[in-house]
A and B are shown apart, each in its own frame.
Chain A
Amino acid sequence: MRRLFGPEEEAFRSEVRAFLADWADLDAYLCHGPKWPRVAALFRALGARGWLSLAWPKAHGGLGLPPSYEYVLWDEAAYARAARNPLLTIVARTLLRAGSDEQRARWLPPIRAGEVHFALGYSEPEAGSDLASLRTRAVRRGDRYVVDGDKCWQSYAGHVDQLWLLARTGEAGSRGAGLSLFLVDRESPGLTLTPLPTLDGDALWACRFDGVEVPAERRVGPEHGAWRLMAEALADERHIQFPAGRLRRDLAELAAWLRETGRERDPVVRREFAELAVQVREAEVLALRVVELTQAGRSAVAEAAANKVFHTELCQEIARRAFAWGGPESLVVGARVQQLWRQSLWETIGGGTSEVMRGVVARQALGLGGRN
């Protein structure tokens, strides 16, 4: 399937691999939090090479390359278990589309350099899949907004510099038409972050906003205009959200483990492993289809949702099969099999549940479903 990339992209892949060889010990893809200082160092190193702005327009300091280069980078980073694509890219895309000149001048250079990081402040205790029902309010008072409310389940919030906050600026009941986006300093008075330790050794965070003052110039895009910006940013990011490198690595580690333990000789195991291998290829081609459509400037809504469902359910399936084959050995804390199981449980929830994604596919590809 590597034949689907051209010689320039393959040369870039080689360059990425050589770079990542120095980060082979990082092993942070499955769990960023405890290793955050070194993860941040990796992002700075990526930024120094211009690789955090591969597909940005040259006018904004990017390299102006096609989206396929971004896929190659994050696919290799996933295979190397180095790190996931950081959330800063969503912020950057939105600023490029809708930020003011001052905001771009203030934020794009440090984003490009990997010197500033963001956590998405979207979900709330009562607003998960139904994000348009969120209640955290931002009320305009003169040259600033005052934010009150509770956010929950934020990834990396305790480590990053800024929160990318989605808050209600419209009337209660205004749903998606009453939401705005803000850049909120993590050190803001009145903002309290509480870790919620998770099964994988990382943590999600609860974020309490108690009269947090946010300067008006930190609102990105028009007031009440967040919904469209979020959709557009998502479209820009679809091709790098779930690169297949993670699955290839899961499978490679599983193969090594089967060889080490002698389980590879079991014909049932071999058959089931082959079925997983076919599915990893399916996941890869689904991911590449999203890249291809994105590169062509075509909609990839259904395909991206399909890729998300397939990728995330497959990484869980790989972990479950490994448990089934490994028996008691897979229960030993520290075994990679167990880490895969613990971590992969989150994948079908974060970033849009499988149920929501199937709903997207049903609507977009088959014209089915009763809700938008």
Chain B
Amino acid sequence: MIAALELDAERAAVRDAVAAWCRDTEAAAFAPGRWRELAGLGVLAVGADGASGARELVASCEALGAAAAAGPLVETFVALRLLPDAERERVVAGEALVALGEPPLIAFAPRAQVFIELAGGRAYLAHPRGPVVPLDTLAGDPWGRVELARERELPGLAEALAAGRLAGAALLAAAGRRALELAAAHARARKQFGRAIGEFQAVAHPLAAAWIRVLAAEMLARAAAHDADAGDAGAAGLCASAWLSARRAALEAAARAHQSFGAVGITLEGPLFGLTRRIRQWASLALDEAGAHAAAAAAAGLA
């Protein structure tokens, strides 16, 4: 058996290096300089030239997810698999920021230099037709409303979406795991009725149930990455399933963690909001949910 559900030494080193960078910087708040630093680590370049690298992508995203890292991560991983060479090099270097989605509401539109419109299962290189109207969003990222003018269609959306879903799965699962770690630590320390609240099954079991889902999502993302690097024909479908799995798991983990934290969990400066608002935002990314469901059903015999 191939131990693909365990990160090997090489990928574990990637994860640890990115995690160390996250600890040393304010990764959860977006800043152009930090984004260029992240690019300088080579994180954005993984697999961008068409080579395999799904496992490195997952390893990096596990670290970024646990840190609730800011920036158009998933959008960038999708875009790099769509863009022509010139634009791709600028994005890989962190010099150009990507705004990708279904207009008019698009993440990072006020800061972006590269625009990609997704519509009807196709991707188009585009540019703003007029001014971008900035908006604040839940996670504090700079979003905006903008009308886009299409320049040309970009081929390869299916492969790009698979990478984006895989990255999204790893980000979400890792963020969900971190939320549960924080909640469990709180439940071990916080005492009520003369004992730690984590001793009550009413507190412990919902967290355990969420941990099971997060574990499944993590393992599914790693399995999908392994199959993708092996060139398996079913890998894209597995990436789609991993994304759906992680979305559900992370949202459940966030909800359970908030409930376990009690009042401190709903304070703006408390230990949880920075993570759970990022989970909510990542879970809302437009990565063709209907298509992901159709792929999962088809793989199980309902084409």
Contacts and interface: CB of A to CB of B under 8 A. Distances in A.
A275 interface: yes
Contacts of B301: 251-252, 255-256
Interface string B232-248: 10000010010011000
A274 B293 contact: yes
Contacts of B297: 270, 273-274, 277
B2 A6 contact: yes
Interface residues of A, number: 52
B3 A292 contact: yes
B295 to A, nearest CB: 8
B294 A66 contact: no
A295 interface: yes
B195 interface: yes
B300 A368 contact: no
B77 to A, nearest CB: 21
Contact of A366 (B201, B207, B227, B302): B207
A366 B208 contact: yes
Most buried by A among B188, B226, B241: B241
Given A5-B2, A282-B216, A355 B296 contact: no
A259 B298 CA distance: 12
Given A278-B241, A310-B216, A259 B302 contact: yes
B184 A366 contact: yes
A277 B244 CA distance: 11
Contact of A285 (B201, B211, B223, B232): B223
A27 B156 CA distance: 45
A270 B219 CA distance: 25
A358 B205 contact: yes
B259 to A, nearest CB: 14
A326 B184 CA distance: 41
Contacts of B227: 1, 3
B115 to A, nearest CB: 31
B291 to A, nearest CB: 11
B245 A368 contact: no
A365 B217 contact: no
Given A4-B223, A274-B294, A368-B199, A286 B204 contact: no
Contacts of B215: 286, 289, 303, 306
A206 interface: no
Contact of A1 (B6, B180, B223): B223
A278 B204 contact: no
B274 interface: no
Given A274-B294, A285-B5, A370-B199, A359 B204 contact: yes
A292 B6 contact: yes
Interface string B259-303: 000000000000000000000000000000000011011011110
A366 B238 CA distance: 28
Contacts of B205: 355, 358-359, 362
A282 B220 contact: yes
B138 interface: no
Contacts of B294: 270, 274
Interface string B194-206: 0100111101110
Contacts of B200: 370
B13 interface: no
Interface string A1-19: 1111110010000000000
A370 to B, nearest CB: 3
A367 B188 contact: yes
B5 A271 contact: no
A91 to B, nearest CB: 26
Contacts of B5: 4, 285, 288-289, 292
Given A3-B230, A68-B1, A285-B216, 7 more contacts: A1-B227, A1-B238, A3-B232, A4-B2, A278-B296, A355-B205, A358-B209
Interface of A: 1-6, 9, 66, 68, 251-252, 255-256, 258-259, 264, 270-271, 273-283, 285-286, 288-289, 291-292, 295-296, 303, 306, 309-310, 355, 358-359, 361-362, 365-370
8 contacts: A255-B300, A264-B302, A271-B293, A277-B296, A292-B5, A358-B208, A367-B198, A368-B204
Interface of B: 1-6, 180, 184, 187-188, 195, 198-201, 203-205, 207-209, 211-213, 215-217, 219-220, 223, 226-227, 230, 232, 238, 241, 244-245, 293-294, 296-297, 299-302
